[in-house]
Amino acid sequence: MAIQKTDRKEKTKNKLIKSVGKALSKYGFKGLGINKVAREAGVDKVLIYRYFGGLPELLKEYSLSIDFWPSLKEILGDDPEFVKTLKSDEQVAYFFKKFLAALRRRPITQDILALEVLERNELTKQLEYIRIRTALEYFEHIDQIPDDKNLSAIVVLMGGAINYLIIRSRITTSVGGIDLESEKGWDSINDGIDLLLKGIFD
How many angstroms separate the most distant Cα atoms in the chain?
63
Of the candidates 25, 26, 51, 46, the residue with the CA atom closest to the CA atom of residue 35: 46
CB pairs under 8 A, 24+ apart, for 82-89?
83/141, 83/142, 84/141, 84/142, 84/143, 84/144, 86/144, 87/144, 87/201, 88/144, 88/145, 88/146, 88/149, 88/201, 89/194, 89/197, 89/198, 89/200, 89/201, 89/202
pLDDT tier for residue 41 given thresholds of 50, 70 and 90: very high
Residue 92 three-state SS: helix
Distance between CA atoms of 12 and 3, rounded to whole angstroms?
14
Predicted local distance difference test score (pLDDT) of residue 120: 79
- A 10 A CB-CB count for 23 gives 25
Kind and range of the H or E element at 175?
Answer: strand 174-175
**pLDDT tens profile 2-29:** 566 678 899 999 999 999 999 999 999 8
**pLDDT tens profile 80-120:** 889 989 999 999 999 999 999 999 999 999 999 898 888 87
Kind and range of the H or E element at 30?
Answer: helix 2-31
What domains appear along the chain, each with residue ranges and CATH number? Answer: 2-63 (1.10.10.60), 72-201 (no CATH)
pLDDT > 60? residue 191: yes
Predicted local distance difference test score (pLDDT) of residue 131: 82
Query: Which amino acid makes up residue 81?
Result: E
Predicted local distance difference test score (pLDDT) of residue 62: 92
Task: Tell me 69's DSSP state.
Answer: S
**pLDDT tens profile 117-170:** 888 777 778 778 888 888 888 888 877 677 778 888 998 999 999 999 999 999
Of the candidates 90, 107, 88, the residue with the CA atom closest to the CA atom of residue 98: 90
Predicted local distance difference test score (pLDDT) of residue 2: 57
- A 10 A CB-CB count for 37 gives 25
Taking the mean position of all CA atoms in its chain, how far away is CA 136? 14
> Per this entry, what is the length of the chain?
202
**pLDDT tens profile 49-82:** 999 999 989 988 998 899 999 999 999 988 888 9
Torsions phi, psi of 117, nearest 5? -65, -30
> What is the arithmetic mean of pLDDT over 35-42?
96
